[in-house]
């Protein structure tokens, strides 16, 4: 199966390097992406261009695909699924949830027209608890700036075809019962989740970046979802 790997903010195709060998050993063909404008000077690239890049990759691949979206990459995966629901066999969200139309990712400080990686200490302790100092030192150089518009652009999705595509959510700390309780209070996110015909929630037991802290386990769970 062709598996398109969509990184979250500040990450490139290289962030999937430790996941890819396990997927290949299981007989799959990974397609890790670096999205437009990542690591470049100020540009007018927005979330729509990121979605277009994923749609173009779907069109380039011959046959059905699996989309894997980490963190903010989940917004990109879900919007691309709406445009190519007939080609996407399953969407795997890595520590994120399907966004409703109009949602954005988040807001971060802009420096010289781009959003640089703010450093591991910027994030909640629970998200980074499984990243020790050695891993932080190894992975921080793998990050790159993102275009200033991307995190705050609203995700555009016209239609509801995406809801027919099966979804697997690989959550860092939340199990299914906890997630369902939490999402019920998230208004439009709750309605979006409820509209999905087939959704499963799997607890990874990791922080927010399992491709770094637990790549073999993440790959194993992706493989299980594909089956």
Model confidence pTM above 0.95:
yes
pLDDT value, residue 62: 87
Hey, is 222 helix, strand or coil? Answer: helix
Q: What's the number of CA atoms in the CB half-sphere (13 Å) around residue 32?
A: 16
141-185 per-position pLDDT tens digit: 999 999 999 999 999 999 999 999 999 999 999 999 999 999 999
* Cα separation, 219 vs 209, whole angstroms: 13
Domains of the chain as residue ranges with CATH:
2-226 (3.40.50.1820)
- The predicted pLDDT at position 180 comes to 93
Q: How many CA atoms lie within 13 A of 41 on its CB side?
A: 0
Q: What per-residue confidence (pLDDT) applies to 227?
A: 82
pLDDT for the residue 61: 96
Q: Name the token pair of 191.
A: 């309605």
Here the tokens at position 223 are 């493989």
CB 217 within 8 A of CB 185: no
The pLDDT score that the predictor gives to residue 210 is 98
Q: Tell me the C-alpha distance between 226 and 29, whole Å.
A: 12
Query: 52 with 59: CB under 8 angstroms?
Result: no
CB distance 110 to 148 below 8 Å: yes
197: nearest Cα among 98, 123, 50: 98
Alpha helices in 152-214 (DSSP H): 176-183, 188-195, 210-213
CA angle 189, 147, 222 (to 5 degrees): 50
- Segments of the chain with pLDDT less than 50: none
Task: Answer for the pair 13, 33: CB distance below 8 angstroms, yes or no.
Answer: yes
């Amino acid at each position: 199966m062709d598996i398109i790997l969509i990184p979250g903010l500040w990450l490139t195709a290289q962030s999937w390097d430790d996941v890819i060998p396990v997927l290949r050993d299981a007989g799959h063909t990974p397609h890790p992406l670096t999205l437009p404008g990542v690591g470049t000077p100020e540009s007018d690239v927005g979330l729509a261009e990121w979605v277009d890049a994923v749609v173009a990759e779907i069109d380039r691949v011959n046959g059905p695909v699996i989309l894997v979206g980490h963190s903010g990459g989940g917004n990109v995966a879900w919007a691309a699924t709406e445009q190519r629901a007939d080609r996407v066999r399953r969407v795997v969200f890595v520590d994120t949830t399907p966004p409703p139309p109009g949602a954005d990712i988040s807001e971060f400080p802009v420096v010289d027209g781009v959003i640089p990686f703010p450093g591991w200490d910027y994030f909640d302790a629970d998200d980074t608890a499984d990243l020790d100092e050695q891993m932080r030192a190894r992975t921080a150089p793998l990050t790159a700036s993102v275009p200033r518009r991307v995190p705050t652009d609203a995700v555009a999705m016209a239609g509801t075809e995406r809801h027919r595509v099966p979804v697997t959510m690989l959550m860092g700390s939340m199990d299914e019962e906890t997630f369902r309780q939490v999402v019920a209070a998230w208004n439009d996110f709750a309605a979006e989740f409820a509209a999905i015909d087939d959704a499963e929630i799997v607890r990874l037991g990791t922080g927010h970046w399992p491709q770094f802290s637990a790549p073999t386990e993440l790959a194993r769970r992706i493989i299980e979802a594909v089956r």
